[in-house]
Structure 1
Amino acid sequence: MDRLPHLDRTLDESAPPRWASPAADATHLVRTVHAARRLPLGELGSVESRLLVSQQVALPYVLPLAVRLPRAVPLLDALFFPGDLLLATVGVPAAAWAPLP
């Protein structure tokens, strides 16, 4: 992955506002998304990328990084099945792709 200046920043830093901590009774999904927002972008793996893309969280930051992974391994298994990250990225609404180069 290219070393871009923003890869050492988290989504909470890059895509404000910073999210409050999840409620004590929050679901596993909510807790996991919140935890992924606190990881530096350069440390997002395939599992976190698939999760954030499928939940449409901070797509301008996550989508460019997420599409790099299946380019190398198209049927990458990002937790559920081979190709799940690729499927998540192609399922993103067209409007999310418009501002991206």
Structure 2
Amino acid sequence: MDEIGNLSLEQIEETSWPDPPADATRLMRTVHELRRKPIRELTPDDLRVLIRQREGLRALLPRALELLAQDPLAEGDYYPGDLLVAILEIPSSYQPENSIPAASMTEILQNIERMGDPGQHFAPHEEIWKAIHNFRADNDN
């Protein structure tokens, strides 16, 4: 991650997007801006936004998983665990080129299970467990 963390998605993908159009939505402007930011500087919320938009998954997943290994309920702007849910909801159709390392996810999900009720950490219990259940069913995990 060291070397790649200093690069932006635009640099890694060797693709520069033009500036968003004048009538672009806030989300469009945000994604354009985040693609220019070095991966190391992306916050959990930045990662959540880009992952939800399926941008740069191959480059972003290692950084996101690194954050989740430290704090499985790392949060962006919505709620504790929103980064985890964004990753768990990546459709299996985006794999194998963007596959989530099974060992990393197993460890993160085991950490969540050890924590008990995510609601005790101000995280939405049902949303997180539903995402975990669907991820496991989709990935036979």
TM-score, normalised to structure 1's length?
Answer: 0.88
Q: Cα distance, 1:97 vs. partner?
A: 4.5
Instruction: Work out whether 1:85 is the aligned partner of 2:93.
Output: no
In the alignment, which residue of structure 2 is the partner of 1:32?
Answer: 30
Larger Cα Rg: Structure 1 or Structure 2?
A: 2
Give structure 1 stretches of 5+ with no counterpart. none
TM score, norm. by length of structure 2 = 0.64
Count of aligned positions:
99
Runs of 4+ in 1 over 4 A off after TM superposition: none
Q: Which is helix-richer, 1 or 2?
A: 2
State the Cα RMSD in Å: 1.5
Alpha carbons 1:60, 1:96 under 8 Å: kept:
no
**Post-superposition CA distance 1:20-68 (Å, at most 9, x none):** 1101110000000111001011111101100111110011101111121
AA in 2 matched with 1:93: P
Among 52, 55, 64, the alignment partner of 1:54 is 52
In the alignment, structure 2 segments of 5+ residues that lack a partner are 102-141
Q: Considering Cα pairs closer than 8 Å and 6+ residues apart, tell me whether 1 or 2 has the greater RCO.
A: 1
Amino acid in structure 1 at the alignment position of 2:39: L
Q: Contact 1:50/1:88 (CA < 8 Å) preserved in 2? A: yes
